[in-house]
């Protein structure tokens, strides 16, 4: 295998301006197939901007994005095969858990029988068998996010991206769900790009961490690299902080 084939996602000089504000400096980054990569950094450092350009929600100002070696810089979000999980869950309030998870399959024209199988399996994977008929407001925050994760994995996207998915949950539940998400990653083997501002969460979960500040990458490496070999004072301080 060549290097390019092993890279699921490759960013080449990707930048983003909002008006005259440069939210993301020209960024080069390679995400390997099957890895769990975390974008870590303080609020406003450009994590969501970077994710939104990979998903296609935002167009980049400069640069090129490759998915499995294919240029997807201008491809519409639906064509990219990337699943997203959001901090605020983004569930449809009038739909049951089953209907929320079924939605991405329905819009893809999947048959009713297959939808039933896949949704049942996805809800079971996130520990929600038996909750099919509940509406979001009849579920706890953690359960709503499990529905959000089931809705993401149900159509087997080639990459799963999560933007601060545990940000609205309390500390104990956050730690439990970190383990659940890691287990899910191990089981399904899909490439994950995960966003958090919590350095402990990043150190616990990641194969590699991409530390960001002021719209740029400060350091990219394993949790051990960042913890034991920070490249500068910002990295040392940010990784050393505890909540």
Binding site for Mg ion (CB under 5 A): 48
Nearest distance, CB of residue 44 and Mg ion, angstroms: 8
Q: How far is the CB of 42 from ligand ADP (least distance, A)?
A: 7
**Contacts with ligand ADP, 91-130, as mask; x by CB under 6 A:** ----------------------------------------
The reply on whether position 172 binds ligand ADP by CB under 6 A is no
What count of other Cβ atoms lies within 10 Å of the Cβ of residue 7? 19
Residue of 90, 94, 200 lying closest to 138 (CA atoms): 94
- Residue 49 or residue 96: which is nearer to Mg ion going by CB? 49
CB of 161 to ligand ADP, least distance (A): 12
State how far the Cα of 96 lies from the Cα of 197, in Å rounded to an integer.
Answer: 31
Q: Of the two residues 46 and 165, which places its CB atom closer to ligand ADP in the complex? A: 46
Does 213 contact ligand ADP by CB under 6 A?
no
Instruction: Give the separation between CA 38 and CA 45, rounded to whole angstroms.
Output: 14
Q: Are 77 and 55 in contact (CB under 8 A)?
A: yes
Nearer to ligand ADP, 101 or 212 (CB): 212
49 is in the binding site of which of ligand ADP, Mg ion, none (Cβ under 5 to 8 A by kind)?
ligand ADP
CB of 187 to ligand ADP, least distance (A): 28
Q: Are 38 and 196 in contact (CB under 8 A)?
A: yes
Per-residue CA distances from 2 to 19, 28, 67, 69 (Å): 39, 18, 14, 11
Handedness of CA 7, 162, 47, 229 (dihedral sign): negative
- Whole-angstrom distance, CA of residue 22 vs CA of residue 15: 8
Closer CB to ligand ADP, 48 or 191, in the complex: 48
CA distance 101 to 52: 22
Tokens of 135: 């509406």
Minimum CB distance to Mg ion, residue 57 (Å): 12
Residue 49 or 191: the one with the smaller Cβ distance to ligand ADP is 49
Site string for ligand ADP, 39-78 (x = CB under 6 A): --x-xxxxxxx-----------------------------
Furthest C-alpha separation in the chain: 56
By CB under 6 A, name the binding residues for ligand ADP.
18, 21, 23, 41, 43-49
């Amino acid at each position: 295998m060549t290097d390019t084939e092993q890279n699921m996602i490759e960013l080449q000089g990707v930048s983003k301006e909002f008006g005259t504000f440069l939210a993301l400096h020209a960024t080069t980054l390679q995400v390997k197939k099957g890895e769990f990569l975390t974008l870590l950094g303080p609020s406003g450092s450009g994590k969501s901007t970077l994710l939104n350009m990979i998903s296609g929600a935002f167009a980049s100002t400069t640069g090129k994005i490759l998915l499995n070696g294919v240029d997807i810089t201008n491809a519409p979000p639906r064509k990219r095969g990337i699943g997203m999980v959001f901090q605020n869950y983004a569930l449809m309030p009038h739909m049951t858990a089953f209907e929320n998870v079924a939605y991405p399959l329905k819009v893809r024209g999947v048959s009713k029988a297959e939808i039933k199988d896949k949704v049942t399996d996805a809800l079971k994977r996130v520990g929600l068998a038996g909750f099919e008929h509940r509406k979001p407001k009849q579920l706890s925050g953690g359960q709503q996010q499990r529905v959000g994760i089931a809705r993401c994995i149900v159509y087997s996207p080639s990459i799963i991206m999560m933007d601060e998915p545990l940000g609205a949950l309390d500390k104990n539940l956050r730690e439990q769900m970190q383990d659940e998400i890691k287990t899910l990653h191990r089981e399904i083997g899909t490439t994950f790009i995960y966003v958090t501002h919590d350095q402990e969460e990043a150190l616990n979960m990641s194969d590699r961490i991409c530390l960001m500040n002021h719209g740029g990458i400060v350091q990219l490496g394993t949790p051990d690299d960042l913890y034991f070999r920070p490249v500068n004072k910002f990295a040392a301080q940010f990784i050393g902080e505890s909540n």
